[in-house]
Amino acid sequence: MLDHLPKVYIVSDSIGETAEMVVRAAASQFNSGAMEIRRIPNISDIDTLDEIVHQASINNSIIAYTLVINELAEHLRAEAAKYDVVCVDIVGPLIEAFKKVSSIEPKREPGLLRKVDEMYYRRVEAVEFAVRYDDGKDPRGISLADIVLVGVSRTSKTPLSMYLAHKRIKVANVPLVPEVTPPEELFKAQRGKVIGLIINPDQLNHIRAERLKTLGLKGQASYANPERILEEIEYSSTIMKRLGCPVIDVTNRAVEETASKILEIYYRRLSNV
């Protein structure tokens, strides 16, 4: 009888993180839970499996595995049985349970959980990026962004940045104001990265007037003044021409519709790189 936990070989056709977490959780129920773990990831051939079983047999060890490719899993079980090595399938029984109840065939593709996790973290990273580089807070974001949106206030730059972030795209946005010189980084950006947003002056006037009302301010403020709005739009048009950037009219467009146009431009640029 062993006075310590046996060595565990973790075998996976992906990276083996799931199996290691389960093994450590189980081991924590025994004294300190201390043990030796050897993780062997990205298994794709039976010769490697044979060597692992041989080593486990010599060292009186356990094999814990997450092999979603049936041929590899079956070979490992057969080889382990031949040498009387304890071999534990971490995910196989649950996959079979899902299959039995749902009648859906599993994909049997290694690494799917990692791909889902990576997508999730890229989305979180893009949202954090949109917040950090919103409203021209830091011009350094221009060179780091996938897309840079420019336009006057209330052309949906921030909502669009957040919407696109949930599609894992890093977006910075820069307001164009006559009294503020645009950052030099804007004019150095890769061609096609910067996208201009324009809007009908009357609709912008209405949007801004409503915005002032929600803030408890008078609608006569310069922010919603028709002459001021025309000045801003003319200024932004001048900057966009200097940039030579594609321009989207957001008048009466939903955020989703404008985002679709932005994505068309973005993917067209990527295909031409």
pLDDT tens across the length of the chain (273 residues): 556 789 999 999 888 888 888 998 998 888 766 789 999 998 989 999 999 999 999 999 999 999 988 899 999 999 999 999 999 999 889 888 988 899 988 887 776 666 656 777 888 899 999 999 999 999 999 999 999 999 999 999 999 999 999 999 999 999 999 999 999 999 999 988 999 999 999 999 999 988 888 887 765 568 888 999 999 999 999 999 999 999 999 999 999 999 999 999 999 988 876
Distance of CA 178 to the CA centre of its chain: 36
pTM: 0.63
185 by Cβ neighbours in 10 Å (0-12 / 13-18 / 19+) ranks as middle
Intrachain domains 8-110 and 118-272 with the same fold:
yes
- CB burial string 133-166: b at 16+ within 10 A, e below: bbebeebebbeebbbbbbbbbbbbbbebbbbbbe
- Match domain 8-110 to its CATH number in 3.40.50, 1.10.260, 3.30.460, 1.20.120: 3.40.50
Which CATH number applies to 118-272? 3.40.50
Nearest-angstrom CA–CA distance, 250 and 36? 60
What is the SS3 assignment for 64?
A: strand
| Domain definitions of the chain by residue range | 8-110, 118-272
